[in-house]
Amino acid sequence: MTANNRTVSGMRPTGPLHIGHYFGALKNWIDMQNDYEAFFFVADWHALTSNYADTSKLPQYVRDMVVDWMSAGLDPEKCAIYRQSDIRETAELHLLLSMITPLGWLERCPTYKEQQQQITDKDLGNYGFLGYPVLMTADIIQHRPRWVPVGQDQQPHLELAREIVRRFNGMYDTQVFPEPEARLTPAAKCPGLDGRKMSKSYGNGIFLQDTLEELTPKVKTMFTDPARLRKSDPGNPDVCNLFPYHKLLASPEVQAEVREGCTGATMGCVNCKKMFLQNLQTFLEPLHERRAAILAKPGLVDEVLAAGRERAAKSVKETMELVRAAMHMD
């Protein structure tokens, strides 16, 4: 009954993906597709929890996300790539789980409290926002996976999913759902150009689809060590906004060279940025080549989503038959 070789994850389609999305999640997904039966979904229903007022861009964002994923290296031959709303049984499972989930579990969710304080330009006083962890649980457990790739900050969400699973299995005296386990994604520091969190809304992102012409002025204006005003001033790579990217993109030898040049005031920030831009270009070139090939086939995204829907629907159908039987609703 348990599909121990399965993994599931998704992203909300809210705009183009940046380099933080790649190192924070996609890189791990790309590795896992080779070793697991993997399901990756574009979470368009989740996008409505905060962007429910204007849905006009959502269809294009869904397609753009699939292109970004495949450009980065997700292979639809190795994993199922599907749109969340194409699997209507997810909504049924969400409804059934919402009946047994105590309100207090949702109200104590750290993200619920934090985002209510931080997002002040939207009304988040709706059930969709409060109850999205239940929908997220349905997204995950409908495939009965063993592993869910998450960052450290998402562990409370997964633990809530595990609590809901324990409650369902105990209440209906069944073992339909295994408790999903976290597959921690290694932390990757990807600060924005201005030192804040990288975000489209801040205008400080390095996006996977950015061309060299777009990247060059961005990198030139990138914040570095605020205390280093001249090349002759010794710098501190550990507080520099740029150095984390050398850790991600440069060899250990180059990292050591940059650190020595910065702390010894023999390398200026201009040269440091040039090195970063070159490494960034080398990293993005194969992504751009794959993107061009994907866009040259107008029907490819539809084909990928259709194939992914078929694979995901088969998995979910099997689960829902067990759920309905356990709840005497079959």
Name the architecture of domain 210-291. Orthogonal Bundle (1.10)
Residue 27 CA neighbour count, 13 Å, CB half: 17
Q: In which order are the strands placed within the sheet that holds 79-83?
A: 79-83, 37-42, 6-11, 147-150, 181-184
For residue 42, what are the contacts with CB-CB under 8 A and spacing of at least 6? Answer: 10, 11, 13, 62, 65, 66, 81, 82, 83, 84
pLDDT, tens digit, for every residue of 25-53?
999 999 999 999 999 999 999 999 878 88
Q: 77-123: per-residue pLDDT in tens?
A: 999 999 999 999 999 999 999 999 999 999 888 776 666 655 666 66
Would the pLDDT of 187 be above 80? Answer: no
Q: Render the burial of 136-166: b for 16+ CB within 10 Å, e for the rest.
A: bbbbbbbbbbbbbbbeeebeebbebbbbbbe
pLDDT at residue number 3: 47
CB 240 within 8 A of CB 224: yes
* pLDDT (tens digit per residue) in 280-295: 999 999 999 999 999 9
Q: What pLDDT score was predicted for residue 49?
A: 85
Give pTM, 2 decimals. 0.93
Q: Where in the chain is the domain with CATH 3.40.50.620?
A: 6-189+299-326
Please, where in the chain does CATH 1.10.240.10 lie?
A: 210-291
Domain 6-189+299-326 bears CATH identifier 3.40.50.300: no
